[in-house]
Amino acid sequence: MSREYWDSEIERKMVRKFDFRILPLILILYTLSVIDRINLGNARLFDLEKDLNLKPGQFGWCLSVFYFGYIFFEIPSNNLLKRATPSRWISRIMISWGIMSCCAAAVKNFAGLMSIRFFLGVAEAGFFPGVIYYFSFWYTRKEQATRIGILFAVSLLASGFSGILAYAISHMHDVLGLKAWQWIFLIEGIPSIFFGIVTFFALPDFPETVKWLTSEERAIATKRLELEGTVAKDTKFDRSQFLDSFTDINVLLFLVLYFTVLTPSVTLAMLLPTIIASLGFSDVNAQLLTTPPYIVAFFSTILITYHSDRVMQRGIHIIVCATGCIIGFVLLMVLEGVWVLYGCLVFISLCLYVCMPLCFAWISNNIRGSTKVATSTALISSFGNIGGAVGGQFFRAKEAPRYISSHIIFICLLSLSVITSVILRIRFKRENSRAFQGREEFPKFPEISEYSPAQQKKIL
């Protein structure tokens, strides 16, 4: 069966089923993961450092240690997702991190907070690359950037909402004898446990196994992915694909690209309340002012990723957005005025956060073989999250309020992302040219249709 042998209207309705049956639950889960990841930044403004007797620099390490556990367990987690089935494995991840988040409310000192943050990273490891991998079970290359973009966009709204939620929770100080920061961890952790249980029963695993598709739709869902060289349900672990993930030049370039866009993105998300407060706003108002940058980023992410799918281009969008971020960070260093600087933060948010979904869509589009997709996605995410580990060391109090050195580092990283994107575009263009002139073939893997590799161009 090839595309000309099935009704495009049936395929369109089938994809709509995917959107209504899968996306809402995944969006809720990812929203909870974002809130749980950044709630430490909100808790900081409600005397957490004072109550735990943290010394200068220790809070930054509490932010960073999350990524130590996260990084080391991403690759095994993503490969286990294949065997355990998505509903079981993602459910396990959700329940584990919800428990860890709630436990953070009970910490008494620096050592306790460090331990909880480390195990929170271990618990959450594999969730994000697992979701990207899971999307490849259902959506074609042309459909993925928009869905990944929606995922990120909703997470941005969640980040903005977390500031409003933290503001509301601040009024619960001393309720039941608990501090405001303790309530933040509890109220934002319990829903993760609940939805982890829901996920076990509600998340569909593969198109072949769901009952809400007709037999014709199941056949189309499976075949259209085979024609693109995407994952199949029953593929087993392939050692050669696993090893190839660590030697493929394109994968290594994606490592660099994702690191350079994730580091400023995660750092800004973690420390935005602190950065805004340093401009001269009160701690409470700083929480509220974290919302507008995320609302702007929400709309830009949806629009830009949608356009990326329409024109089937990834690299040029990353180049333009990263360049906009560079301009924004330069303006932060040279302009004056509280509201002008706040406007620069909003502009940076407009350009910055969309780079991550574009990057992961590009990765997912141009890597072949189910084991290689799972391993490469987790490997790239793991390496990129080193940026999260070092992010806690930026924007130190002694740099406030201009944070010149942190801005310069981000300008350098984003400049490298532009260079890396240009190199990847050149490489993919050359690979397409060689392959379609018969001088080189795309790699073939057992689970992929023998015709699909040579028919599919690498997306630029």
DSSP state letters, 135-179: HTTT--HHHHHHHHHHHHHHHHHHHHHHHHHHHHHGGGTTGGG--
Residue 233 binned pLDDT confidence (cut-offs 50, 70, 90): low
- The pLDDT, as a whole number, for residue 446 is 47
Task: Give the CA distances from residue 275 to residues 46, 67, 184, in Å, rounded to whole numbers and listed in that order.
Answer: 15, 21, 20
Q: State whether residue 212 is helix, strand or coil.
A: coil
Cα 267-318-429 angle, rounded to 5 deg: 140
Q: Using 50, 70 and 90 to split pLDDT, how confident is the model at 258?
A: very high
Give the Cα separation of 222 and 235 in Å (integer). Answer: 13
Higher pLDDT, 404 or 317: 317
Most confident of 116-120, 222-226, 270-274: 116-120
Work out the burial of residue 193: count CB atoms within 10 Å of its CB; fewer than 13 is exposed, 13-18 middle, 19 or more buried: middle
Residue with tokens 């509490």: 62
226 pLDDT more than 60: yes
Higher pLDDT, 21 or 159: 21
Average pLDDT over residues 44-73: 85
What pLDDT is recorded for position 107? Answer: 93
* Fold (CATH) for 1-210: Growth Hormone; Chain: A; (1.20.1250)
Average pLDDT value for residue range 218-247 = 77
Does residue 155 surpass a pLDDT of 70?
yes
What's the average model confidence in pLDDT over 281-290? 80
- Of residues 289 and 370, the one with the higher pLDDT is 289
Domain boundary assignment for the chain: 1-210, 237-436
pLDDT-based confidence at 454, cuts 50/70/90? very low
Phi and psi at residue 457, to the nearest 5°: -80, 150
Helix, strand, coil fractions of the chain, as percent rounded to 5: 80, 0, 20
- 237-436 in CATH: which number? 1.20.1250.20
Mean predicted confidence (pLDDT) in 423-442: 77
Among 226-230, 266-270, 313-317, 334-338, where is mean pLDDT lowest? 226-230
Tell me if domain 1-210 and domain 237-436 are identical in fold.
yes
What is the rounded average pLDDT of the residues 400-411? 87
Residue 187, sorted as left (phi over 0), alpha (psi -120 to 50) or beta, turns out to be: alpha
Report the C-alpha dihedral over residues 398, 401, 403, 407, rounded to 10 degrees: 170
Tokens of 212: 């809400």
Q: To which H or E segment does residue 52 belong? A: none
Find out whether 401 and 335 touch, Cβ atoms under 8 Å. no
Query: Is the predicted pLDDT of residue 368 greater than 80, yes or no?
Result: no
333: Cβ–Cβ under 8 A, 6 or more apart, which residues? 402, 404, 407, 408
Query: Strand, coil or helix: what is 369?
Result: coil
Residue 3 has pLDDT above 80, yes or no: no
Residue-wise over 73-111: b if at least 16 C-beta within 10 A, else e?
A: bbbebbbbbbeebbbbbbbbbbbbbbbbbbbbbebeebe
- Please state the rounded mean pLDDT for residues 322-336: 93
Q: What is the pLDDT of residue 235?
A: 55
Rounded Cα gap, residues 260 and 274, in angstroms: 22
As a whole number, the mean pLDDT across the chain is 85
Mean pLDDT, rounded, for 197-224: 90
Checking if the pLDDT of 223 tops 50, the result is: yes
> Which pLDDT score is estimated for 323?
97
For the question of whether the overall pTM of this predicted structure is more than 0.85, the answer is: no
Higher pLDDT, 20 or 161: 20
Residues 6+ apart with CB under 8 A from 46: 166, 170, 173, 179, 180, 181, 184, 283
Q: Kindly state the average pLDDT of the residues 5-15.
A: 83
Q: Which of 353, 364, 377 is nearest to 261 (CA)?
A: 353
On the question of pLDDT at 275 being above 80, the answer is yes
Residues above pLDDT 70, as percent of the chain: 92
